Chains A and B, each alone.
Chain A
Amino acid sequence: MMVLPIPDGNTQNTATSALDVHGLTVEFPTRRGVLTAIDDVSMQIAPGEILGVVGESGAGKSITGLAVLGLLEHPGRIAGGAIHVGGRRVDTLSEAELTKVRGREMGAIFQDPLTALNPLFSVGKQLVETIRLHSDMNRAAANARALELLRNVGIPAPEERLRQYPHQFSGGMRQRVVIALALAAGPRLIIADEPTTALDVSIQAQITALLRKLCDETGVGIMLVTHDMGVIAETADRVCVMYSGRVVESGPVADVIHNPQHPYTRGLMSAIPSLHDRVETLAQIDGSMPRLNARPSGCAFHPRCPHAGPRCSAETPPLVKVDTTSAACWLQQGGTQ
């Protein structure tokens, strides 16, 4: 059953939103059958908005980001749905066309800034190359633009830094360079996959503040993929909670955090140790995320769910709007019996 998703409080249509993913399904054909990594996922990001995509490992959050970028590794394939970036459909483009769109329309920031940069070229050279590839600027103009980009991402003494190589930068500074590269062509959308996970907390705060600032200033839409609910709470406007390849809850950050509807989100929130009160035992969700080849029928969360009823193992609940947030749970939709 295909159920149309209801965008939460977001009136942007496909033409003006930074990202519009509709009914995305990603499959990995293997010798033992086809594994569905992403199952009917829909999300929208407006210009200047940060959408947090949160979930535990194996939830499919990174695959969603890679599918949007057209970087799914073989044998992964998009088996259904549509992806629009800035109003343009990108999932049907050929590899050659995608190469043009990637970088110009959408940028990417990955977890490890050291492997994202080429160690053999100076930072300036990498920036200038990226800028010239996506625009018709001459070398001098591109140089000036590179300098401006480094300044925008908060790198001190950018004139000297342009001539330096990635190994001369610290982890936080490298991630700033990667952000500058992602912004080089003025994209409409940035996919940031765990951008702060490899960084220390004090640096993490600097990077999330920078992402927020760039988002507000340039109007770029950001898809922030992370497992850290704290980062989402501080940075994102809206959040999508993913579990086993599906979106189980989405809505404005404050509502999802303070009034979670889905039992998984509720469990996740209370499993995080608090900074303010100390409890004897943390609420725990027993078991772990199912593997792709052993996904339970119906709602994939039902074996771990305290409220599961017979309906949960039989039918997959659709994502339906409750107040400000949307949840995919039978509890809100007429009971689990």
Chain B
Amino acid sequence: MNTHIPALTVSDVSKVFDVSAPWLNRLIERRPKLFVKAVSEVSFTIEKGTCFSIVGESGCGKSTVARLVTGLYTTTSGDISFGTGRTGRPIRVQMIFQDPHSSLNPRWRVGDIIAEPIREMKLRDDVKQTDARVRELLETVGLGADDALRYPHEFSGGQRQRISIARALASEPELLVCDEPTSALDVSVQAQILNLMRHLQDELGLTYLFISHNLSVVRHMSDYIAVMYLGRIVEQAPVEHLFTAPRHPYSKLLLATIPDIENPRRRIDAQAGEPPSPLNPPSGCAFHPRCPIAMDKCRKAIPELLATEGQARVACHAVTDP
């Protein structure tokens, strides 16, 4: 596997959304403009053939990062650059969405859904070759070649997610952005999809950017993990490192609160408090109101993401500058 060759480099990316009321309301009610900083100064690199995961609670900006990488949103500042692919051009990126029910056009046959990227990007010369490619893709994801003639409603959730994967693979991408690909699926079906994704990664040498809130799925899939809180990466580490020795208090909180089947009823420190509104983030470190070890400094200065031992990086005053 090609390690240490970056497939994706994200540097200092921020995204600000304008959520102001319409201008007339602002004028009459004398309200100021309102901005949400969904992603702040996020940087990471994904090496080819690896799986990089972003975890965090809802509203932490993980899906925004996925959409920035695929170009569905434009960045407010910062750079996103892709590595060189097999053909010598920048690598292609595709996305798998969470909900397999709303991400497939119900009026199109499955064959057309998968063939669209091939036709659009002129990856095959004629109809015959396109059809052959569609059949091949369907078989790659574990469906039958004759499923191409059926409509999405004839498939179950897991099969629909397979169709989404086939469509994503149709444009021959080397980087797949997966935004909660198994959250809408049942456990036994989730295992099928995760196994398929692992298999495809080995077979096609894919690189994954995996977005999830499910830590056990993330642990199963990824090589490297970034934990996000309120738009910032608070800790970034190799998967084993993060699960065995989390450094940031928020990572510790996340790991302590996930229900653990093998080890239930351990003392849960169900810490009070909830993620604050991104409209009005706390000063300094955004986690300080919930943090058990918050110091004066945490209320004033935003901690930087600094390297600690291993390949880990942590943004916490208490860890990097006790």
Point out the residues of chain B lying under 8 angstroms from A19, CB to CB: none
Residue on A nearest B259 in the bound complex, by CB: A230
Q: How far is the CA of A171 from the CA of B243 in the complex (A)?
A: 27
Point out the residues of chain A lying under 8 angstroms from B260, CB to CB: 230, 233-234, 275
Q: Which one of B63-71, B76-84, B122-130, B267-275 is at the interface?
A: B267-275
Q: How far is the CA of A154 from the CA of B258 in the complex (A)?
A: 20
Point out the residues of chain A lying under 8 angstroms from B186, CB to CB: 56-57, 227, 288-289
Whether A206 contacts B270 in the complex (CB less than 8 A), given A200-B58, A230-B260, A278-B220, comes out as: yes
Q: Which one of A85-93, A96-104, A279-287 is at the interface?
A: A279-287
Partner of A206, one of B195, B240, B272: B272
Partner of B243, one of A229, A275, A285: A275
B20 within 8 A of A: no
From 140 to 160 in chain A, residues with beta carbon under 8 angstroms from any chain B beta carbon are 154, 156
Q: Is the CB of A202 within 8 A of B257?
A: yes
Residue on A nearest B256 in the bound complex, by CB: A205
Q: Is the CB of B261 within 8 A of A209?
A: no
Q: Is the CB of A272 within 8 A of B213?
A: no
Q: How far is the CB of B219 from chain A (nearest CB, A)?
A: 6
Q: Is the CB of A203 within 8 A of B189?
A: no
By secondary structure, the B interface counts as helix
Q: How far is the CA of A229 from the CA of B275 in the complex (A)?
A: 25
Whether A275 contacts B191 in the complex (CB less than 8 A), given A201-B57, A201-B213, comes out as: no
Task: For chain B, give the interface size range.
Answer: 35 or more
A172 within 8 A of B: yes
Identify the interface centre among A269, A281, A284: most chain B CB within 10 Å of its CB. Answer: A284
From 227 to 286 in chain A, residues with beta carbon under 8 angstroms from any chain B beta carbon are 227-231, 233-234, 253-254, 257, 267-269, 271-276, 278-286
Q: Is the CB of A200 within 8 A of B187?
A: no
The 5 closest A-B pairs by CB, nearest first: A230-B259, A273-B220, A56-B186, A271-B191, A205-B257
Given contacts A230-B216, A230-B264, A267-B188, 17 further A-B contacts (CB under 8 A): A156-B272, A205-B268, A206-B272, A229-B187, A234-B259, A234-B260, A273-B219, A274-B216, A274-B262, A275-B260, A278-B219, A278-B220, A282-B220, A284-B191, A284-B192, A288-B158, A288-B188
Q: Would you mind naming 13 contact pairs between A and B with Cβ atoms under 8 Å apart?
A: A201-B213, A201-B258, A202-B57, A205-B270, A227-B186, A234-B259, A257-B264, A268-B187, A269-B261, A282-B195, A282-B220, A288-B158, A288-B159
Where the two chains meet, the residues of A that have a C-beta atom closer than 8 Å to any C-beta of B are 56-57, 154, 156, 170-173, 200-206, 208-209, 227-231, 233-234, 253-254, 257, 267-269, 271-276, 278-286, 288-289
